Chains A and B, each alone.
Chain A
Amino acid sequence: MTIIFYILLLFIIIAAIIAVETRYLLSAVICVGAIGFGASLMFLFLRAPDIAITQIVVEVLGLIILIRACLSRELTFISGDREFFAVVVSAVIIFAIFLAGIKVLDTLPDFGTAIFAEVPDTASQTYIGEGLEKTGAANIVASVILDFRAYDTLGEATVLFTSIIGATVILRKKSKKLLEDPE
């Protein structure tokens, strides 16, 4: 199983290098998408299916928006016949990643059983067992997100703050003009 992990890692690194080095914007965006999907497979491999689902959703949304933004900038037309070699290579890569995904899904515990029942010494066991006496919060979720994993929450708050600043700055230019002379 670790071999698949390293192959995925190699795939992500190669995609990252291509994304930085390529001349075409669209290829760079597609490589970024490949990195994201590879990362979500790796999250599955590391037994964090919730993060993998989040990663996939964010990746799909971001990829669609980025591709849409690129298409208006740079129109690419495919002329002539499709190259046989390119089609075969992409089909093989897609099939390999599909196989890796199936393999990775096998490592997840069966439906209805908790991960920490299979793997001893996980952090979640500590959270559930000693959450109340270590933080004093009756709500275990609150004790996790605001005490054990407060860094995560700080990061989320920062993301929210930055995105609000961006939205306000981008959208305000027109509305300010509107405020000065309405209609």
Chain B
Amino acid sequence: MKGMTIIVKTISSWVKVLIFLFGIYIILFGHLTPGGGFAGGVILASCYVLLMLAFGREYVEKNLPLPVASKLDCLGAFLFALIAVLGLVFGGTFFLNFLYQKYLPGEALELVSAGTIPLSNIAIGLKVGASLFLVILVLSMFRPDMSGKKEE
């Protein structure tokens, strides 16, 4: 049986939902409350790390395989760059907050406000979460061959 004891498994299977929701909240409300894409992404990645510690690597790999994670990583980076380029296309300046200044001013302290800032937060959250998850997954896969070439 892979992973830790049944106590750890039960508790982490309850807690994982809360952690994941909290990460999503931190990302989505990044323009209103403390937090943002980086912090929320780290929380999302730490949820997967908890699962990896409790259930073993194979469980997490079945849940979010390495190719999917790397695609999410690339998607986040692409979205962030796309928002920057869209500012250039619609407003004439790289990284212009075109949504706020031209199309969708929104009300301050509302969820839909601040134009491109929430979108950038989502992109960065996706990117940071996926990439930290990737690092930990790759590091846990890595087995340094200490014994040199004896094994082969």
Using a CB–CB distance below 8 Å, which chain A residues touch chain B? Answer: 132, 135-139, 141-143, 145-147, 150-151, 153-154, 157-158, 160-161, 164, 167-168, 171-172, 174-175, 178-179
**A residues in contact with B106, CB < 8 Å:** 136
**B residues in contact with A135, CB < 8 Å:** 97, 100, 114-115, 117
Residue on B nearest A156 in the bound complex, by CB: B38
Q: Is the CB of B81 within 8 A of A154?
A: yes
Smallest CB–CB gap between A175 and chain B, Å? 4
A138 vs B84: C-alpha distance in the bound complex, in angstroms? 21
A150 vs B115: C-alpha distance in the bound complex, in angstroms? 14
**B residues in contact with A141, CB < 8 Å:** 34, 36
**A residues in contact with B31, CB < 8 Å:** 137-139, 142-143, 146
A115 vs B30: C-alpha distance in the bound complex, in angstroms? 26
Q: Is the CB of A168 within 8 A of B134?
A: yes
A167 vs B69: C-alpha distance in the bound complex, in angstroms? 14
A160 vs B42: C-alpha distance in the bound complex, in angstroms? 13
**A residues in contact with B127, CB < 8 Å:** 157, 160-161
- Interface residue from B33, B120, B131, B138 paired with A160 (Cβ < 8 Å): B131
Residue on A nearest B144 in the bound complex, by CB: A174
Q: Which of B82-109 contact A (CB under 8 A)?
A: 84, 94-95, 97, 100, 105-106, 108-109
Q: Is the CB of B30 within 8 A of A138?
A: no
Q: Is the CB of A167 within 8 A of B117?
A: no
- Interface residue from A137, A146, A147, A161 paired with B73 (Cβ < 8 Å): A161
Q: Is the CB of B36 within 8 A of A138?
A: no
**B residues in contact with A136, CB < 8 Å:** 97, 100, 105-106, 108, 113-115, 117
Q: Is the CB of A132 within 8 A of B117?
A: no
Smallest CB–CB gap between A158 and chain B, Å? 8
Q: Is the CB of B141 within 8 A of A178?
A: yes
Q: Is the CB of B80 within 8 A of A157?
A: yes
Q: Which 10 A-B pairs have the closest CB atoms?
A: A175-B141, A137-B114, A150-B95, A137-B31, A136-B114, A164-B131, A171-B142, A142-B31, A146-B120, A146-B117
Query: Contact flags (1/0) for B115-152 with A, using CB distance below 8 Å?
Result: 11100110010011001001100110111110000000
Q: Is the CB of B141 within 8 A of A164?
A: no
Smallest CB–CB gap between A169 and chain B, Å? 10
Q: Is the CB of B80 within 8 A of A154?
A: yes
**B residues in contact with A150, CB < 8 Å:** 84, 95, 120
Smallest CB–CB gap between B36 and chain A, Å? 5
A157 vs B108: C-alpha distance in the bound complex, in angstroms? 27
**A residues in contact with B138, CB < 8 Å:** 167-168, 171-172, 175
